[in-house]
């Protein structure tokens, strides 16, 4: 980890040793205070601990000769007790602060790493995971790891030092009593390990179930119109209850483990204390131990009480930390499928000619595209048609290198897409996606999404090109109107036009319209196209559409079926061919009464 942690960790560790030192000094001083107070004869102080006697001796001259030694000793002990407490407080402050600071920095770094990783992971990854799951990992799991580092890491060292020194002191003071008082340690250690393992798998499962619940809730809210349209609230509530009861069950198990854990650790300690009292008490009765020594012993043990309690909590922290850490690193360890080669150069745009050379591609082993070859030059347009699922959008996704072809290659001005930097490529290529996603932000921010430095006039002109400007300007808030997630407060066609505006604002050298006018009426579409003509004169355009009137002026039209180009040529050539394209054309231009809704009849 970075250098900045080293010194923090260093100071943290120093603070730990100081804190444990002070912490342990306190019971010694208390024990001596009891001894001093018990001095029957006020002129002779019987303090057992030689270290304390030394301390008193070195300080005693301040009070001058002739003062009452017992009282002097008490005052001196009180002063040291005060100093030790302040010292303990200060070092605890440092130690906690360092722990938290390290935790926060690691949390920050993890967040940034996670964010950066997500941004680089390719479409193929994102298509396969649920956004709710990714969000949970980024928020809750990062938090889990942070909490773990913050509270558990340094504190573990602290507790270890404390327990270790405590053990040493007790054992060296009285071996038998020491052993008895520590008899609970093996039990606690064993139990803590067992509980940690149980908790860990429980946390992991719980986190997964929480993700599932998030998914249910998120989809319900996102698809609220479907839920309403099908009056399926009962069904949805059942889904929710199922998911939610799963989490409840696991959470209950967890609470159970925790409760057992905490109470057992407590009782183990108390029983050991009882044994110490019993054996020590008998020793006092025998006269082999002073009550002061026994008090000191009990005080030592009470120092251990807090750590032992905390072990119970830390076991949970460890379990949670490792469970969430696993989930987080599952993502952080991924290598993006699509990334710049080490030798990648920026794309050099000379003409802006896009070429597909015998491209083959499949999503999961299947052949989605095969033998796709075509070329688009600046000022030219390639049109693509085909039935649903034939692979049109897939072609569009290959151009900005959202995916890599399995075979064949794609070039722009002769440079293989895999040899250029993604950033330069995606700046040169604009894809108007079939499925519009808008951000919860103002219209202006949405239009300027690809270039947030764009001045107002560019935003406005792009919006006007997309034939949306007049509508936006009539809104009470104009370009500052906030549009909702996925643009719910816009109509379908308005949403598509906004997404067109967003892409043309970037003036890419190569632009792909993926069925981006499906929800726009023909008149508006033609106005968009007319407005765009002066923009598209020097750039290559690919238009995917089901509406043939949008394509008929393309320089080449590709008819795709099952991932293959089965017909190609200009509108006229394809009509002359009399194949699928011609059929489509006939259907659109001269729909016979026969195949329309609401009437009966057969298709000839």
Partner 1 sequence: MSVKATHERSHEIPPKASIKLGPTLDEEVFGAAFSGQVVSRFIKYVAAYKVLLWVAIISVLVFTASSIAIPLIVRDIFDSALSADTLSSSKLTTMMVVFLTAVGFNFVSNYLQELIVGRVAERILIDMRRAMYTHLQVISLSFMDRTEIGKLMARLQGDVAALQEFLQTAVFAIGDFVLLVGIIGAMIYLDWRLGLMTLAVVPVLFIIRIIWLPYARQAFLRARVTSSIVSGALAENINGIRAVQGMSREYVNYDLFDIRATDNLRAANRASKIGVIMLPIVDTLTGSAMAIIVIVGGFFVLGGSIEVGVMVAFILFVQRFFDPIRSLTMHYNVLQRAMASGERIFEVIDVPVDIKDKPDAIELDEIDGSIKFEDVTFGYLPDQPILKNINFEVKPGETVALVGPTGSGKTSTTALVHRFYDIWDGSVKVGGHDVRDVTQQSLGKHVSMVLQEPFLFSGTVYENIRYAKDDTTREDVVAAAQAVGAHEFIMKLPNGYETELEQRGGNLSLGQRQLISFARAIVADAKILVLDEATASIDSYTEMLIQQALVRLMEGRTGMVIAHRLATIRGADRIIVLQDGEIIEMGNHDELMEMGGLYSRLYSMNYASFDDIPDELIAEATKAAEGTST
Ligand X SMILES: Nc1ncnc2c1ncn2[C@@H]1O[C@H](COP(=O)(O)OP(=O)(O)OP(=O)(O)O)[C@@H](O)[C@H]1O
Positions that interact with ligand X (CB under 6 A): 127, 363-364, 368, 386, 388-394, 434, 488-494, 515, 519
**C-alpha to C-alpha distance for 324 and 205, rounded to whole angstroms:** 10
Nearer to partner 1, 94 or 357 (CB): 94
By beta-carbon proximity to ligand X, the closer residue of 310 and 393 is: 393
Question: Among residues 581, 576, 553, which one has the least CA distance to residue 565?
Answer: 581
Q: Considering the complex, what minimum distance in angstroms separates the CB of residue 461 from ligand X?
A: 21
Three-class secondary structure assignment of 223-276: CHHHHHHCCCHHHHHHHHHHHHHHHHHHHHHHHHHHHHHHHHHHHHHHHHHHHH
The two tokens of residue 328 are 């987080």
Is 273 or 483 the residue whose CB approaches ligand X more closely? 483
The H or E element spanning position 360 is strand 354-361
Q: Counting contacts by CB under 8 A, is residue 546 touching partner 1?
A: yes
Size, binding site for partner 1 by CB under 8 A: 204
Answer for which of 7, 10, 115, 168 binds partner 1 (CB under 8 A) is: 115
CB of 220 to Mg ion, least distance (A): 23
Note whether 65 binds partner 1 by CB under 8 A.
no
Which residue of this chain has its Cβ atom nearest to ligand X in the complex?
493
Question: Nearest CA to 266 among 192, 156, 180?
Answer: 192
The span of 264-272, 316-324, 369-377, 535-543 binding partner 1 (CB under 8 A) equals: 264-272
- Binding to partner 1 by residue 601, rule CB under 8 A? yes
Measured distance CA(448)–CA(501) in Å, rounded = 9
- The beta-strand segments (E) located in 515-589 are 540-544, 556-561, 564-569
The nearest distance, CB 353 to partner 1, in angstroms, is 21
492 binds Mg ion (CB under 5 A): yes
Nearest distance, CB of residue 317 and ligand X, angstroms: 39
CB 252, min distance to ligand X, A: 38
Residue 174 tokens, joined: 């009285």
Residue 578 main-chain phi, psi, to 5 deg: 70, 30
CB 225 to ligand X: min, Å: 10
Rounded to the nearest whole angstrom, what is the least distance from the CB of residue 481 to ligand X in the complex? 10
List 112, 175, 176, 189, residue binding partner 1 (CB under 8 A): 112
Kindly indicate which of the ranges 51-59, 127-135, 176-184, 369-377 contains the residues binding partner 1, using the contact rule CB under 8 A: 127-135
Q: Which does 160 bind (CB under 5 to 8 A by kind): partner 1, ligand X, Mg ion, none?
A: none
Residue written as token pair 């959202």? 402
Q: Is 513 helix (H, G, I), strand (E, B) or coil?
A: strand
Asked if 335 interacts with partner 1 (CB under 8 A), we say: no
Residue numbers 435-474 binding partner 1 by CB under 8 A:
435, 437, 439-442, 444-445, 448-450, 452-454, 459, 467-471
In the bound complex, what is the minimum distance in angstroms from residue 441's beta carbon to ligand X? 16
Rounded Cα distance, 76 and 70, in Å: 10
Options 20, 136, 393, 516; binder of Mg ion; rule CB under 5 A: 393
The answer to whether 575 touches 581, Cβ cutoff 8 Å, is yes
Distances from the Cα of 425 to the Cα of 206, 397, 430, 436, angstroms: 42, 13, 10, 21
**Stretch near Mg ion under the rule CB under 5 A, chosen from 136-144, 405-413, 483-491, 532-540:** 483-491
Among 34, 50, 44, smallest CA distance to 69 is for: 44
Q: How far apart are the first and last CA of the chain?
A: 73
Distance separating alpha carbons of residues 468 and 512, to the nearest angstrom:
19
| Residues in region 269-298 near partner 1 by CB under 8 A | 270-271, 274, 277-278, 281-282, 284-285, 291, 294-295, 298
Q: Which stretch binds partner 1 (CB under 8 A): 66-74, 168-176, 178-186, 346-354?
A: 66-74
Q: Which helix (H) or strand (E) holds 411?
A: strand 407-412
CB of 473 to ligand X, least distance (A): 13
In 3D space, the residue among 382, 391, 385 whose CA is nearest the CA of residue 584 turns out to be 385
- Answer yes or no whether residue 389 interacts with Mg ion by CB under 5 A: no
Please report, as residue ranges, which positions from 315 to 334 form the binding site for partner 1 (by CB under 8 A). none
Q: Are 389 and 546 in contact (CB under 8 A)?
A: no
Sheet of 564-569, strands arranged across: 429-432, 510-514, 540-544, 381-385, 556-561, 564-569
Q: Where does this chain touch partner 1 (CB under 8 A) — which range of 196-204, 345-353, 407-415, 485-493? A: 485-493
Name the segment binding Mg ion (CB under 5 A); options: 92-100, 281-289, 386-394, 476-484: 386-394
Give which of partner 1, Mg ion, ligand X, none residue 227 binds (C-beta under 5 to 8 Å, depending on kind).
partner 1
Spatial distance between the Cα atoms of 397 and 401, rounded to a whole number of angstroms: 6
Secondary structure element (H or E) that encloses residue 14, with its range: helix 3-38
67: phi then psi, degrees, rounded to nearest 5 = -80, 165
According to the binding rule CB under 8 A, does residue 402 interact with partner 1?
yes
Six-digit token string for 159: 């507790």
Indicate which single residue of 260, 434, 524, 570 sits in contact with Mg ion (rule: CB under 5 A): 434
Residues binding Mg ion: what is the number (CB under 5 A)? 4
Which residues of the chain form contacts with Mg ion (CB under 5 A)?
A: 393, 434, 491-492
């Amino acid at each position: 980890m970075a250098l900045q942690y080293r010194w923090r960790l260093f100071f943290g560790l120093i603070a730990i040793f100081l804190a444990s030192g002070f912490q342990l000094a306190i019971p010694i001083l208390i024990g001596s205070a009891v001894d001093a107070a018990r001095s029957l004869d006020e002129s002779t102080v019987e303090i057992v601990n030689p270290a304390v006697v030394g301390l008193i001796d070195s300080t005693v001259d301040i009070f001058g000769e002739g003062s009452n030694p017992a009282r002097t000793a008490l005052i001196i002990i009180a002063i040291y007790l005060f100093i030790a407490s302040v010292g303990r407080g200060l070092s605890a402050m440092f130690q906690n602060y360092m722990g938290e600071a390290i935790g926060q920095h690691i949390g920050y770094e993890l967040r940034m790493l996670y964010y950066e990783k997500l941004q680089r992971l390719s479409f193929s990854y994102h298509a396969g995971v649920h956004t709710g799951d990714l969000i949970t990992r980024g928020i809750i799991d990062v938090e889990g790891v942070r909490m773990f580092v913050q509270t558990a890491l340094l504190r573990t060292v602290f507790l270890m030092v404390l327990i270790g020194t405590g053990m040493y002191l007790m054992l060296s003071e009285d071996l038998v009593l020491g052993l008895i008082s520590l008899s609970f340690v093996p039990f606690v250690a064993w139990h803590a390990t067992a509980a940690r393992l149980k908790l860990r798998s429980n946390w992991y499962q719980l986190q997964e179930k929480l993700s599932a619940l998030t998914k249910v809730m998120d989809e319900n809210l996102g698809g609220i119109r479907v839920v309403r349209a099908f009056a399926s609230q009962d069904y949805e509530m059942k889904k929710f209850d199922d998911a939610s009861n799963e989490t409840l069950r696991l959470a209950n198990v967890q609470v159970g483990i925790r409760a057992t854990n905490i109470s057992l650790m407590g009782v183990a300690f108390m029983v050991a204390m009882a044994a110490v009292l019993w054996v020590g008490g008998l020793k006092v009765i025998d006269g082999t131990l002073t009550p002061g020594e026994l008090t000191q012993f009990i005080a030592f043990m009470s120092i251990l009480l807090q750590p032992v309690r905390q072990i119970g909590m830390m076991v949970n922290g460890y379990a949670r930390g490792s469970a969430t850490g696993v989930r987080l690193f599952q993502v952080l360890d991924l290598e993006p499928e699509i990334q710049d080669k080490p030798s990648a150069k920026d794309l050099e745009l000379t003409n802006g000619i896009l070429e597909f050379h015998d491209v083959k591609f499949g999503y999961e082993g299947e052949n989605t595209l095969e033998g796709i070859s075509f070329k688009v030059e600046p000022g030219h347009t390639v049109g693509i048609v085909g039935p649903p699922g034939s692979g049109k959008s897939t072609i569009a996704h290959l151009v900005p290198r959202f995916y890599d072809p399995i075979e064949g290659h794609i070039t722009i001005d002769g440079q293989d897409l895999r040899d250029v930097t993604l950033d330069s490529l995606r700046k040169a290529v604009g894809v108007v996606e079939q499925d519009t996603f808008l951000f919860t932000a103002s219209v202006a921010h949405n239009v300027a999404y690809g270039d947030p430095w764009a001045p107002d006039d560019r935003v406005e002109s792009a919006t006007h090109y997309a034939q949306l400007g007049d509508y936006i300007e009539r809104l009470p808030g104009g370009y500052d109107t906030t549009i909702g997630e996925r643009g719910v407060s816009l109509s379908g066609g308005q949403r598509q036009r906004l997404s067109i505006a967003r892409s043309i604002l970037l003036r890419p050298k190569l632009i792909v319209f993926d069925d981006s006018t499906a929800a726009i009426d023909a008149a508006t579409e033609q106005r968009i196209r007319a407005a765009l003509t002066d923009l598209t004169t020097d750039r290559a355009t690919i238009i995917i559409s089901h509406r043939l009137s949008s394509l008929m002026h393309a320089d080449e039209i590709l008819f795709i079926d099952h991932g293959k180009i089965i017909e190609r040529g200009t509108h006229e050539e394809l009509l002359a061919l009399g194949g699928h394209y011609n059929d489509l054309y006939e259907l659109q231009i001269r729909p016979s009464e026969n195949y329309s809704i609401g009437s009966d009849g057969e298709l000839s």
